[in-house]
Amino acid sequence: MKGIVFTEFLEMVEAKFGLEVVDSIIEKSDLPSEGIYTSVGTYSFNEMVSLITHLSDEVKAPMGDLIYAFGLYLFNGLGKSHPEVIVNYNNPIDLLYAIEDHIHVHVKKLYPDAELPKFKILEKTDSSISMIYSSSRGLYRLAHGLIEKTFEHFNGKAKITFELLKEDGTEVKFDIIQNG
Ligand code: HEM
């Protein structure tokens, strides 16, 4: 997993829960990186799992809720670091439609060893989109937060529902209907 994801994650933890919590989860996680990340570096996904597990313990919140909150936070972080990747879109549905074939393709050029999820589009209209997320990392709640924020980015709103096609969350269907 790319360092930019870790630096954004720790930034969110600091903003929401304070520096003591950042220090505490880094210490408890016993990380090969020792919690020192550069945005272009690549680190084991296990480090993220460990950090989120300890955060969940420490702040007594479910992992899924924390991952979702991180998705909300991460959208702005990625957008600020790489504005050129999203500047060409003028509505949320078109942006979501383009993740697989344009946005993440561009990301792969910026970070050749990025491990990206797949999004298979099932159906798209001007105000709705259905797609299947798949990734061995099962970060579908991260996708949920990123999707939610995509609408906010364009001052829009949407009803987002999802259904686990595989119990471990490695394949999840999203139904997204714009309603504002
Ligand atoms: C500004 C636009 C975007 C940029 C620059 C971007 C970039 C990235 C990067 C760098 C990663 C980390 C890959 C790694 O650690 O190896 C990532 C992962 C991910 N991206 Fe994007 N992304 C963008 C938009 C989106 C949007 C709108 C979604 C909405 C669903 C999305 C869904 C995900 C998910 C769920 C992951 C986690 C990896 C996984 O689930 O396997 N991304 N993206």
Residue ranges lining ligand 1, Cβ < 6 Å: 1-2, 4-5, 78-79, 82, 85-86, 99, 103-104, 107, 111, 114-117, 135, 137, 139, 142-143, 146-147, 150
Task: Give the three-state DSSP class for 128.
Answer: strand
In angstroms, the CA 146 to CA 141 distance is 9
In angstroms, the CA 139 to CA 151 distance is 19
For residue 52, is it left (φ>0), alpha (ψ between -120 and 50) or beta? alpha
Q: What is the mean pLDDT of each run of 10 residues along the chain (180 residues)?
A: 98 98 98 96 98 98 98 97 95 98 96 97 98 98 98 98 98 97
Question: Are 150 and 119 spatial neighbours (Cβ–Cβ below 8 Å)?
Answer: no
Output the pTM of the full model. 0.96
List the residue whose alpha carbon is closest to atom 19 of ligand 1: 116
